[in-house]
Every structure is written in C-alpha cells, then in structure tokens.
Amino acid sequence: MTELFHVDGHKTILGMVHLKPLPGTPFHSEGSLREILDDAVRSATALRDGGADGCLIQTVDRVYSVKDESDPARTAAMALIVRAVVESTHGNGFRVGVQLMRNAVRASLAVAKVTGADFVRAGSLVGATLTAQGLVQADPLDVMEYRRKINAQDVAIVADADSMHFSWLGGGRPTGRVVKDAQQAGATAVCVSHAEEQRMFDMVASARASAPAVPVLLAGNTTHENAARLLAVADGAFVGTCLERDGWGGLIDIDRVKAYVEIVRGLER
C-alpha cells in the first residue's frame, strides 16, 4: 500500500478538508450537517480539479476524548460526509482519507472501510503524547486487531511520528525510532512537521535513516513559499491553511491548489 504515497518520485499532495463540529459533539450547531457535507464535497472537488492527489477529511470539534472512541452520531455523520466525498471525487486515482480526532483510529477505520475511503491518519499509533485534552495513549494491538476484524487491511494507515499532534511523551526518542515503531505496528506511512524548516529536514532525515522504505509526509507548515524546499526531501504533504480561503478552516480555493501543485510538480521534472 506504500504506492498510495510514494510512486517513482511523485510527490503526494493531500489537501485538508476541515469540518465544522459534527453531531454528537458539544459545539455542533443544530441543523448544520447538510452545510458541512456540502462544504466538504466542494473543497474536495476543488482539490481534485486543482491537481491534488487526494484529501484528508478531519474533524474539528474543538474538544475531544483522549480515548480511541467516537460518539455514534458523530461517526455516522462522518460516514455520510466521507461517502459523499468519495462519490463526488471518484476516478483518476484521487485518494480520500479519514481522521476522527483526537485519536479515534478504530472509528476512522470503520468509516473508511464502509465508505470506500483509502486511508486513515492516526494521531497516536504508538507511544503516548500530552495534548490540550489530556494524555493520549496509543494501543496499536487494539487498532490492528480491529482492523483485521472488519477486514480493513486494504485501508492504509498514516501515523504521526513527530508533529503538532504527536510528540513522544518525555522526549528523548529520536523521530526515526518512532517511525520504526510505527512501521512495526502496521503503519503504511508516517508524517512529521515543525515550524522550523531545519527541524523538519532533520526529522525527515531521521525517518529515512531508520526506516528507508516508509513514505514520509509533511504534516503541515508548508506554504507556496517554502513548498519547493520542503517537498524536495519528503514524499508528500498534508496541506491546509495555504489552500483555504480566509485562512485555516475555510473552503479550499482551486486557484491556490493549482499554484501549489505547479510548484511541487516542478520538483519531479
């Protein structure tokens, strides 16, 4: 499944589709699900038509459980949205990913499996990390047993190894070692990020040294200005703010997508 994120030097561009709070969460606005779904389809279509390779549909519910769990209404709403995106963007290899935050990996796998999505992103697949909502502790055995139970081995898993969503609790564990741990646990690819470019370069180098076969994606902090430098060393990136109208959380702008894609494709020539 690594070919989803690494094919002959091709850089995989995955746009972020950020959702407003879903049903079953404290900040959901009653009656807004139709609008949330329509906006998700609109943004995903703009990514496809702008030349991106896929999208990650990510919940933004403001507050989250630290456990691997998701309210049933929330999971059902996510499934409706993801299925609508899959149907609207079908064809040309466009990939759709699922992430129910903070770390509802099993629910994300279930949504991906029943909707025909291609991958999930796991904020914490191995180890533990401290977040604003509290301590998130991974349970890779539980995740992989559930993945097998629902026959979702065809759903790829991208694991955060060192990013805004995951930092090894207590520190002291090199990025590459975490990448190796994630690979051992079943990750198809990993993602890393840091606001400082040199730190990003170092993270990618550490990952390459420890697990050279694992695709490494950048998990944020790329822009039209730095994409050529950062994507030169990575296999791809999750891209959000610089593609969204009115800043983070806005609709995807197709012209911004086209401009970003043109920059990155220049690295492949």
Residue 2 lies in a domain: no
Asked if the structure places residue 103 within a domain, the reply is: yes
Render pLDDT for 244-264 as a digit per residue (tens, 0 to 9).
998 778 899 999 999 999 999
Separation of alpha carbons 258 and 131, rounded Å: 34
Q: How confident is the model at residue 45 (pLDDT cuts 50, 70, 90)?
A: very high
Summarised one tens digit per residue, pLDDT across range 186-230 is 999 999 999 999 999 999 999 999 999 999 999 999 999 999 999
Nearest of 244, 212, 184 to residue 15 by alpha carbon: 244
Residue 268 domain-assigned (yes or no): no
Say how many C-beta atoms besides its own lie within 10 A of residue 228's C-beta. Answer: 13
- Look up residue 113 and give its amino acid: K
Alpha carbons 168 and 210: distance in angstroms, whole number: 16
In this structure, is residue 70 part of a structural domain?
yes
pLDDT at 8 exceeding the cut of 80 = no
Is residue 5 domain-resident? no
In a domain, 160, yes or no: yes
pLDDT higher than threshold 80 for residue 231: yes
For residue 44, give its domain range: 10-263
pLDDT grade for 7, boundaries at 50, 70 and 90:
low
CA dist 101 and 121 (Å) reads: 9
Q: How many domains are there within the chain?
A: 1
> What are the φ/ψ torsions at residue 231 (nearest 5 degrees)?
-75, -15
Q: Across residues 63-67, what is the average pLDDT?
A: 96
- Residue 159, domain CATH: 3.20.20.70
DSSP SS3 for 238: strand
Contact in structure between 101 and 112 (CB atoms under 8 Å): no
As beta bridge partners, residue 149 has none
In-domain check, residue 23: yes
Kindly state the tokens that stand for 4.
């989803």
Q: Could you tell me if residue 133 is inside a domain?
A: yes
pTM: 0.96
pLDDT band at 109 (very low <50, low <70, confident <90, very high): very high
